[in-house]
Structure 1
Amino acid sequence: MGGLAFIQEIYRQITAGFIKNLMPRTLFGRSILIVVLPILLLQILVTYIFYERHWDDVARRLAQGVAGDVAAVISLRDRFPGATAEADILNIARGQMRLAVSIEEGARLPEGSEKQQSYGFLESHLVNALKESLPARPFNISTNKKLESVVLLIQLPDGVLQVIVRDKRLFSTTTYIFVMWMVAISLVLLGVALLFLRNQMRPIRQLATAAEQFGKGQFVEDFKPSGAQEIRSASRAFHVMKHRILRQITQRTEMLAGVSHDLRTPLTRMKLQLAMMPESDESKTSLEGDVSDMEQMVEGYLAFARGQEAEAVEETDITELFQDTVMNARREGAAVSLDTPKNLHAEIRPSSFKRCITNLISNAARYASEIWITVKTTNSEMVILIDDDGPGIPKINRKDVFRPFYRLDPSRNMETGGSGLGMTIARDVIHGHGGQISLGDSPAGGLRIEIRLPL
């Protein structure tokens, strides 16, 4: 039993995976499937029942009517013999029964011809009806497609009775009319359903587009919620979330900028007092170093605050931006190599993005002797690789370096590690563009910074 249960579980998983792969990926496609599948199953079921019960019953009754007329003609001829009576009977069959009847005197049907034939749907019903109405008389059935008729040859004692029956007496056109109406109405209902589904999908796509743009840090105007009640609730929740996030970012940025700006005033007074101190004072040198460190920290805080400020997104020449950034780094003594495609454009915040790349290059130049920058694109994103040949960052500390004011150097020496905000600013800028930044091992032995931005 254990082996059988295992096989059943494997079969269930394979079947579930196969069905999952066949399912549409989009909500619109799945909604169409929900609408179309019941209609299709209903049509198949109704058509099967109609053909199995109604059409079969109608065809059998029509065949019985034809067989009864033929049997009546033969019975009248047997009851009223003679040439005059036979002519009257045949005229009645032609005029009132709509049967083309003729008698071939002295003719005989081939032996076993009835058993050798294969009949279709209508002919089968006619054969059964003739066997019930004329149980002791051999007969033969053939279909004349050109004349759209069925030819009956019935063996009589003195000849062969030929009866030509039009298809209209054996076939009901209501069958095709019913199917055509059913298909036409189903197509109309499907069109109406597609129209309503498309209108319901529009607010969902609008909400998804707004969320994607907001995730990239782009400005998103408030839009009027529409669609079903659940979609309206989701749109209103998105608006509330967006305003709350923007308010928190603004408050944090304003607080940090205000504190950093207020610190400049006492720093300026301290620098003035130091300038007035005599050069012979031994404490002056150490105090000047402390004031310089504090000034660099304040500048770092202000740079962090500026990185949080809202900046308009505009189409920017990425190639030119990287070339300018690399040229500035080279003027400061950094050995930087650049590999970027020509005429690469993207919609970014140019000032904050350039500040981000500058911070990353400055951090790398502080520890490495050479830096390599590679920019490449795919169909959906831009990939930026910054490699160096420095000591790198241990894997255990790679997540911590993105925390504000975190430094690998515990001494807090400004000459060896800065203020600890460079990587934080870079991460916030990249996340503000809807991208991702990660750290890894460089082929040159140092640190690799990988940035992925959606295009």
Structure 2
Amino acid sequence: MGRLEILKNLYRLITTGFLKKLMPRTLFARSILIVVLPILFLQILVTYIFYERHWDDVARRLAQGVAGDVATVISMIDRFPGNSAHAYILSAARGQMRLAISIDEGGKLPAGADEPKEYGFLESHLARALQESLPARPFVISTNKKLESVIILVQLPDALLQVIVHDKRLFSTTTYIFVMWMVAISLALLSIALLFLRNQMRPIRQLAAAAEQFGKGQFVDDFKSSGAQEIRQASRAFHVMKHRILRQITQRTEMLAGVSHDLRTPLTRMKLQLAMMPDDGDKSSLEGDVADMEQMVEGYLAFARGQEAEAVETADLSELFHEIINNARRQGTAISLKTPRELSVSIRPNSFKRCITNLINNGARHATEIWVEVGSDDADVIITIDDDGPGIPKENRDDVFRPFYRLDPSRNTETGGSGLGMTIARDVIHGHGGQIALGTSPVGGLRIEIRLPK
């Protein structure tokens, strides 16, 4: 398989999403991975080069030095026979060559010494060096249990030479020093990088928390921009956006206060004039029109006023639903409730109560019985409202959330209201950071599912 084919397979592996599943999800973990992987690859590369080149060369040269000293001692023993000469040679080897040498007169190598053996890293270098220095001498290499020394047995014509080489002559201490320094420096650099990344992640988390809080309609204090330049820019843009939205909400509220006064004043005058008119058919018709106009004005104002004036507080959702259901039952609605004993959540109680009341009233207008269930999972509070009415066709379920949209084409408020109930309910749910969806109920009518974050 060529390099081009390997690159193609690697590209397919990345694009299939296999590596994406192995990647951590948080930015902090991915940043750590970006920092750790180069350091890890660098250490592996440096260690490979060091062990493959430097340590191999050092070990070979040390082995050659030991093999040369052993060959020198054997040459001197052969050149100068006699016990006194041998004693002098062995004493000089111990003092000057740091070799513990002894001669066993008449000794023989163990059986099977001539057979090839598998040596370790240092033993293999030493064996090759001895073969070069002592081509005609059989020998055996072994190590003690604590790996503090290497024992070399060399067969002489009429004796067995034993050489004990201490680890200082075969091992380079710079190897361990290099590895320890490399690991220590890498850990220090990694700690500094982690501290720096953690400080960079803090303003991102702060911005994300503020955006989520503001998205739920909660009040968010201005915070000081910190971190990298891009993060500071995003924080400043968030503050500008927040103040622009709040200013728009304030202007809308002030405008609606004036609209409310201007619309209610002529309606009040019309109601007063109708009260002074004689009772006849025209008066009843006009009173009905004025009542419808007043109801529509209140609906429009409720839609436009929104929920910005109410503060968020922790409320018991079970208690709130019991209150809503009891009010609905007093109005003659056949409704049942299934809810846990206690379920605390951060909401705007009045706005949320108005939202659920609108949904129940809509269901009561078209159905004979309503079922409400409140539950929760690990992340959300789940509210389902089922009824046995005609339901809403699938193609119209998105349209009912549009302002002033009514399934009934007539504008009769007795059959369809003002067309703002579902719109207000959706705005309230979205203002709490939740979602609302319509579906088909198991009993054949409409199912409304609401999800609120805990």
Give TM-score, length-normalised by structure 2.
0.94
- 1:211 pairs with 2:211: yes
Q: 2:144 touches 2:150 (CA, 8 Å); kept in 1? A: yes
Structure 2 match to 1:385: 384
Amino acid at match of 2:420: L
Deviations 1:51-98 (A, max 9, x none): 111111111111111111111112222222333322222221121111
Structure 1 match to 2:92: 92
- 1:80 pairs with 2:77: no
Deviation of 1:9 after TM superposition, in Å, equals: 7.5
2:144 and 2:307 mapped to 1: Cα distance?
88
Structure 2 match to 1:201: 201
Of 110-119 and 121-130, deviating more is 110-119
Structure 2 match to 1:224: 224
Structure 1 match to 2:36: 36
2:111 and 2:147 mapped to 1: Cα distance?
27
Structure 2 match to 1:318: 317
1:46 and 1:158 mapped to 2: Cα distance?
49
Aligned CA distance change for structure 1 residues 58 and 305 (closer, same or farther; 3 Å): same
1:295 and 1:10 mapped to 2: Cα distance?
70
Structure 2 match to 1:183: 183
Deviation of 1:410 after TM superposition, in Å, equals: 1.9
Amino acid at match of 1:321: L
Of 106-115 and 290-299, deviating more is 106-115
2:391 and 2:124 mapped to 1: Cα distance?
88
Deviation of 1:306 after TM superposition, in Å, equals: 4.1
Identity of aligned residues (%): 79
Amino acid at match of 1:310: A
2:428 and 2:359 mapped to 1: Cα distance?
12
Deviation of 1:260 after TM superposition, in Å, equals: 3.0
Residue segments in structure 2 that go unaligned for 5+ positions in a row: none
1:130 and 1:49 mapped to 2: Cα distance?
26
2:190 and 2:9 mapped to 1: Cα distance?
37
Q: 1:67 touches 1:133 (CA, 8 Å); kept in 2? A: yes
Structure 2 match to 1:136: 136
Aligned CA distance change for structure 1 residues 250 and 403 (closer, same or farther; 3 Å): farther
Structure 2 match to 1:297: 296
Aligned CA distance change for structure 1 residues 36 and 362 (closer, same or farther; 3 Å): same
RMSD: 1.9
Amino acid at match of 2:134: L
Structure 1 match to 2:329: 330
Amino acid at match of 1:292: A
| SS of match in other structure, 1:369 | coil
Structure 1 match to 2:350: 351
Deviation of 1:183 after TM superposition, in Å, equals: 0.9
Residue segments in structure 1 that go unaligned for 5+ positions in a row: none
2:174 and 2:53 mapped to 1: Cα distance?
14
Deviations 1:364-419 (A, max 9, x none): 11111111111111111011111111111222222121112222222211211112
2:110 and 2:377 mapped to 1: Cα distance?
80
2:315 and 2:201 mapped to 1: Cα distance?
33
For 1:5-84, list aligned pairs within 5 A.
12-13=12-13, 16-84=16-84
1:14 and 1:199 mapped to 2: Cα distance?
31
Of 284-293 and 19-28, deviating more is 284-293
1:99 and 1:9 mapped to 2: Cα distance?
57
Aligned CA distance change for structure 1 residues 32 and 384 (closer, same or farther; 3 Å): same
Amino acid at match of 2:150: V
- 1:247 pairs with 2:254: no
Deviation of 1:110 after TM superposition, in Å, equals: 4.8
2:446 and 2:257 mapped to 1: Cα distance?
32
Aligned CA distance change for structure 1 residues 217 and 147 (closer, same or farther; 3 Å): closer
| SS of match in other structure, 1:205 | helix
Of 283-292 and 424-433, deviating more is 283-292
Aligned CA distance change for structure 1 residues 278 and 343 (closer, same or farther; 3 Å): same
1:13 and 1:145 mapped to 2: Cα distance?
48
2:404 and 2:257 mapped to 1: Cα distance?
16
Of 197-206 and 389-398, deviating more is 389-398
Deviation of 1:253 after TM superposition, in Å, equals: 3.5
1:147 and 1:438 mapped to 2: Cα distance?
74
Deviation of 1:105 after TM superposition, in Å, equals: 2.1
| SS of match in other structure, 2:249 | helix
Count of aligned pairs: 448
Q: 2:256 touches 2:305 (CA, 8 Å); kept in 1? A: no
Q: 1:257 touches 1:305 (CA, 8 Å); kept in 2? A: no
Aligned CA distance change for structure 1 residues 269 and 157 (closer, same or farther; 3 Å): same
Structure 2 match to 1:170: 170
Structure 1 match to 2:453: 454
Amino acid at match of 1:442: S
2:383 and 2:298 mapped to 1: Cα distance?
27
Q: 1:249 touches 1:308 (CA, 8 Å); kept in 2? A: no
Aligned CA distance change for structure 1 residues 198 and 108 (closer, same or farther; 3 Å): same
Structure 2 match to 1:373: 372
1:352 and 1:381 mapped to 2: Cα distance?
19
Give TM-score, length-normalised by structure 1.
0.94
| SS of match in other structure, 1:113 | coil
Q: 1:317 touches 1:344 (CA, 8 Å); kept in 2? A: yes
For 1:96-135, list aligned pairs within 5 A.
96-110=96-110, 112-135=112-135
Q: 2:439 touches 2:446 (CA, 8 Å); kept in 1? A: yes
Aligned CA distance change for structure 1 residues 258 and 445 (closer, same or farther; 3 Å): farther
Aligned CA distance change for structure 1 residues 37 and 410 (closer, same or farther; 3 Å): same
Aligned CA distance change for structure 1 residues 257 and 305 (closer, same or farther; 3 Å): farther
Amino acid at match of 1:374: E
Aligned CA distance change for structure 1 residues 147 and 449 (closer, same or farther; 3 Å): closer
Aligned CA distance change for structure 1 residues 147 and 195 (closer, same or farther; 3 Å): closer
2:11 and 2:381 mapped to 1: Cα distance?
42
